[in-house]
Amino acid sequence: MADHAVPAGIRRPVLSVRILPAVLVCLAAPAFFVLLVPWLGWTLLAAGLAVSALLERGRVAAPGPSLTRDLSLIAAGLLIVSAIPLKAELDNPAMLRFTLALGGAVVVPYVLSRWVYRDYAIRFPWRGGHRWRPWQWAWLGAVLVLGWLILPFYFITSGVYRNWPVVDSPDLIARLFVGVGAVGIWDELFFICTCFVLLRRHFADATANVLQAVVFVSFLWELGYQAWGPVLTIPFALLQAVIFLRTRSLGYVVTVHLLFDAVVFGVLVHAHNPGLLDGLFLVAP
């Protein structure tokens, strides 16, 4: 399958001075979502875009995509997401707030890329152009097993399940199921198909992956994956990008994420309702 995101013949360095503005923009994510200091996030975004613009002075005829434009798309998404608190809540206003903010963080960069910048940088390749290979099916099974082994221990022994609201009624359990799944899909639309794809137009895959993981893991931190959660979320974020590169399939990485989140959902229900799912998980609340 053709790699539309990376123009042919463009050098993508692992390290260069052009990485500085990208680092500044991506560091806005921990400022917004970990430190919870909005002014620092705004400052880092502004500094990143300003440094990028300075580095690109006189590049009118230069080959390749504009780093400043691509960073502005990531910055737009981060600004939109940072406009709301990310504490997990299941009431109607909170779910509407999440829908508008997270949806806007994907739609606005896409619209700017396609109809303002007219470079079609952001796309959502659902199928990847081929059938799933045996290793892909095997990995789906491994995700379920690993999630079943690791997630109950993480959520329950660390106590981070309390970062999610108590779900002790059919209505709340249904809302949790929808919310966990919807955020999981959004993660792949924004962090992989937007941030990672835009960054790898300018930097080596490994560099772009590390940068997108900073944004990905920072978001998950405020969402509730705290304590020693980054030990799990950092490898997950990095691996999802690698899998996307190998498969070129948004559908596959979404499937992986939803299977993982299905275990998350089950563990949260189990943790908030002792006795309800006894025997299903190895760790009791």
Task: Give residue-wise pLDDT tens across range 200-245.
Answer: 999 999 999 999 999 999 999 999 999 999 999 999 999 999 999 9
Cβ neighbours, 10 Å, residue 187? 22
The pLDDT confidence band at residue 21, using thresholds 50, 70 and 90, is very high
Query: Three-state SS string across 59-79, please?
Result: CCCCCCCCHHHHHHHHHHHHH
Q: Tokens in use for 47? A: 């500094």
Q: Residue 227: what pLDDT?
A: 95
* pLDDT higher than threshold 60 for residue 285: yes
Q: Residue 1: what pLDDT?
A: 41
* Residue that the structure tokens 């994956």 belong to: 225
Q: Which amino acid is at 46?
A: A
* pLDDT higher than threshold 90 for residue 6: no
Residues recorded for the chain: 285
* Residue that the structure tokens 């998350």 belong to: 264
Are residues 201 and 125 in contact, defined by beta-carbon separation less than 8 angstroms?
no
Torsion of CA 218, 224, 230, 231, to 10 degrees: -170
Average pLDDT over residues 89-115: 96
Are residues 181 and 255 in contact, defined by beta-carbon separation less than 8 angstroms?
no
CA-closest candidate to residue 45, choices 24, 16, 67, 19: 24
The per-residue pLDDT for range 105-124, each reduced to its tens digit, is 999 999 999 999 988 889 99
Q: Residue 231: what pLDDT?
A: 96
Q: Where are the domains of the chain?
A: 19-272
Q: Residue 203: what pLDDT?
A: 95
CA angle, 270 then 271 then 273, to 5°: 65
* pLDDT higher than threshold 90 for residue 63: no
Cβ neighbours, 10 Å, residue 118? 9
Q: Residue 276: what pLDDT?
A: 84
* pLDDT higher than threshold 90 for residue 58: no
Q: Tokens in use for 31? A: 């400022």
Residues 6+ apart with CB under 8 A from 104: 80
Average pLDDT over residues 61-82: 90
Query: Three-state SS string across the chain, please?
Result: CCCCCCCCCCCCCCCCCCHHHHHHHHHHHHHHHCCCCHHHHHHHHHHHHHHHHHHCCCCCCCCCCCHHHHHHHHHHHHHHHHCCCCCCCCCHHHHHHHHHHHHHHHHHHHHHHHHHCCCCCCCCCCCCCCCCCHHHHHHHHHHHHHHHHHHHHHHHHHCHHHHCCCCCCHHHHHHHHHHHHHHHHHHHHHHHHHHHHHHCCCCCHHHHHHHHHHHHHHHHHHHCCCCCCHHHHHHHHHHHHHHHHHHCCHHHHHHHHHHHHHHHHHHHHHHHCCCCCECCECCCC
Q: Residue 2: what pLDDT?
A: 44
> Higher model confidence: residue 4 or residue 172?
172
The per-residue pLDDT for range 26-35, each reduced to its tens digit, is 999 999 999 9
